[in-house]
Structure 1
């Protein structure tokens, strides 16, 4: 009666509405007893700081080489909430709609790094259903919604999320907190699952992860950022913007009709490599490492190959070995012969797959993302064999060093010879003069 007298929208035929509920607690706060409001908040896990209490969020016990993924129960909830906040039913969450979606959370996190530039957006900054959910897999989830929970749990990863998958991978506790802030109805522990250890995956020769993380290494101007941009549908740009901190890009890769994986590309900055090599567990979260070089630049190949051998040695020394691929970028430009020979030699010596040539500028990625996922799914293959004692690493590094020196010498001789020819021609010693 009290609420109804204050607001006609506070009560309907079914009882207290959301407006009425908020009004009632506003009255408790203003006129008392305020303890009723605190009791309600604590019933739903909030502490004195108006944040979810640490005891309310599941504490994850996992090894460094285990990752965390969303469960199908959480995916079903997110599909429903996307539809609820898509007010104009255009299958795009505009910035205003995203703000409304996170209005019950402490803050909107997708306007900050590493999430704000990790997925494809439309011209107005809106997050499409393709970015919030996998469009193809999303259709499966709409079918899933009509099934009972037992059937849902039998479906392996019926949908794949973009920013939510990234958030869960990088900070699972943070992900669960936001799910609860937005009204996730289940127990917090039902929203996530811990994957099998990566070293077990290698022994079983197969990875069952739905979310795979790929570290992208390479020197400046090798084409790392262009590779990430192409992965999320951004056009190629001639403008060079150096990467000062690690950057992420996430999307879905269709391996087959039944096998869709969520791939997270993490571009490692040059400063990031130093920090990575100083951390014993830095490769524990990596499913596959890709080493990019500009195949038209001999110094680019030299730096990239040294990175490969250093990372391979780090993985071998720490026990966190990862499959590796070599990517020869800028295939549209004239190739540097020594770089091609060097890449092939390092590939043979370390026993990883032959270098994959790509051209982002020409829109020819050469199926590279499919190759990355396939290699990550078979973690026992493409693990570099450094075999320092047998000299393979030393031989490869020697080739790189000697190769660069040799090319420099050949270039000097060629320049000298061309200069002499011009001098002779100018003096009239050519053509019988």
Structure 2
């Protein structure tokens, strides 16, 4: 439940059982003398509830004409209070016959509380337990029950306290109250979550929480240490009820689980929930969105999320830790131990169906998952669902900065313009006709060439034919992983000249649809069977037409295929020579050549025009001096002389 969100409570039951009076008494702390048939939505502020959570209480009518409004209220609620009249046995019977089946029909999955109103009218020879036990046995959806009296204001506030508690600290995800013949037991997901928390707090990895580790756990979850006498008291209680729960003066995993079961049985669910939420769990006992949303995996279609060196190192450490016998493989039981704290293995989703890796997946492998197969699985999972990888790294105990585990590759255009190392995960589409050896090739690439198809497919695959494989390049310092996938359907064709024509057409169409930028490699599978002269001639003609090298020969019965990822890596690093010369690419090249010629001619014309203009500018002053010069200026006349003649 998100902080600040109000809890929506819906009160349902037969007419005249006390629903409206119960709500009014809780809101006003007084009993209404003349309550209305149905109250409008009533809000209780957070300061009115012990949990500090506000409530929105919806009263309902049981009249047939009001059924649509009742259904909407139930579907929008966080918790439902089923009300019956303690003085009316018929109203209690209708809880099991009418109300619970109706909620099941609507698909309501919220907590249900059974509340007996008018407890002051309950017969003296009858107690609540003997009345409700048969109801609880029949309706396992009901989590708790209690009696109240709105008239005498008895246990009215407690009804809504338990309603809030059922939402904020729900019991259903943690504890099955009907297990062990009614004794109850922790649910599997709760055990897995507490197992992980125990393992993370067991810093010295000796399988026991000593006093220092228990105190650190207490401070982390509740911001206060335990006093020595409190520590001794906790261990004493556990030792009395479960002797194997204490060892070497510390708390073992069974003791840790028993302690939380004891909290839940005594109604202290808030203690266990505080621990779970401190370690990032939500009400479904999955890691919460707040925990997993610390990283944004937004990327362009031609980018891929990859593990960093720190991420790979962490996973290799986990591999070494759970490889108990040190044989370099994870057996099925060792994989079970690795993911004992996780709801499931990360590669059990539908996107992993038919995925082949070195050593197989789980029980499908010949002797267990190898280190390279293990890292290939994680590389594939990170590429298709990085959030799942983040979740399982946290479940495996990673406690550093989650952002340090991942990086996002550059775009294809940026990679091809740079000399720096590119991405570490490449996707390869394997195409070919029926019986051309695609499935055998995938098995051979991961070293399972001698296995029958049904043993090679992953556990999520519905068929025995692997349709994808993840293989790590053997000589790649960056840990390059090639993901090979076969399309769902291909045109038929085998090792015949006609099949070569079909594959040539398929290759041209695929390359053209990829914008003539997709590198392609021709493989001659089943090379150990030899290639007929007709097929070899047809391949030579096709390769000459497409300006591609002859097919790479691969023997599926030997070890050639295991080197294929490394060979593909060299092609992927220099893809220009492996792009087929399709008709569309030829047309594009002719068009580009025409544009270049036009640009050259245009540039030449512009340079010629500029040269002529320059010559014109240089010749213009000379022409002006010869024909258009102004007349010469006459010489200046001497100054007029003034002669003075003396008087006679």
Q: TM-score normalized by structure 2?
A: 0.47
Deviation sequence 1:226-250 (CA, Å, 0-9, x none): 2111111123579999989872222
Indicate the RMSD between aligned Cα atoms, in angstroms.
Answer: 3.6
Deviation at 1:350, TM superposition (A): 3.2
Are 1:309 and 2:508 matched, yes or no? Answer: yes
Aligned with 1:212 (options 426, 435, 458): 426
Whole-angstrom distance in 2 between the partners of 1:388 and 1:309: 9
Deviation at 1:201, TM superposition (A): 1.6
Aligned with 1:270 (options 489, 509, 519): 489
Distance 1:2 1:116, change over 3 A: farther
Are 1:40 and 2:275 matched, yes or no? Answer: yes
Match runs of 1:238-249 below 5 Å: 247-249=467-469
Q: Which residue of 2 aligns with 1:332?
A: 528
Q: Which residue of 1 aligns with 2:397?
A: 183
Q: Which residue of 1 aligns with 2:261?
A: 26
Are 1:100 and 2:100 matched, yes or no? Answer: no
Distance 1:11 1:76, change over 3 A: farther
Deviation at 1:63, TM superposition (A): 0.4
Q: Which protein has the larger Cα radius of gyration, Structure 1 or Structure 2? A: 2
Deviation at 1:126, TM superposition (A): 4.2
Q: Is the 8 A contact 1:245 1:269 kept in 2?
A: no
Q: Structure 2: which 5+ runs fail to align?
A: 1-231, 458-462, 590-648
Q: Which residue of 2 aligns with 1:347?
A: 543
Q: Which residue of 2 aligns with 1:120?
A: 359
Q: Is the 8 A contact 2:320 2:326 kept in 1?
A: yes
Match runs of 1:347-386 below 5 Å: 347-361=543-557, 363-365=559-561, 368-386=564-582
- With CA pairs under 8 Å and 6+ residues apart, which has the higher RCO, 1 or 2? 1
Distance 1:32 1:87, change over 3 A: farther
Q: Which residue of 2 aligns with 1:300?
A: 499
Q: Is the 8 A contact 1:236 1:360 kept in 2?
A: no
Q: Secondary structure at the match of 2:397?
A: coil
Greater Cα offset, 122-131 or 70-79: 122-131
Are 1:261 and 2:480 matched, yes or no? Answer: yes
Distance 1:132 1:21, change over 3 A: farther
Q: Structure 1: which 5+ runs fail to align?
A: 134-160, 274-291, 394-433
Q: Secondary structure at the match of 1:212?
A: strand
Q: Secondary structure at the match of 1:316?
A: coil
Q: Which residue of 1 aligns with 2:235?
A: 4
Aligned pair count? 342
Q: TM-score normalized by structure 1?
A: 0.68
Q: Is the 8 A contact 2:447 2:562 kept in 1?
A: no
Q: Which residue of 2 aligns with 1:80?
A: 317
Q: Is the 8 A contact 1:118 1:250 kept in 2?
A: yes
Distance 1:316 1:246, change over 3 A: farther
Whole-angstrom distance in 1 between the partners of 2:562 and 2:355: 27
Deviation at 1:60, TM superposition (A): 0.7
Distance 1:116 1:362, change over 3 A: closer
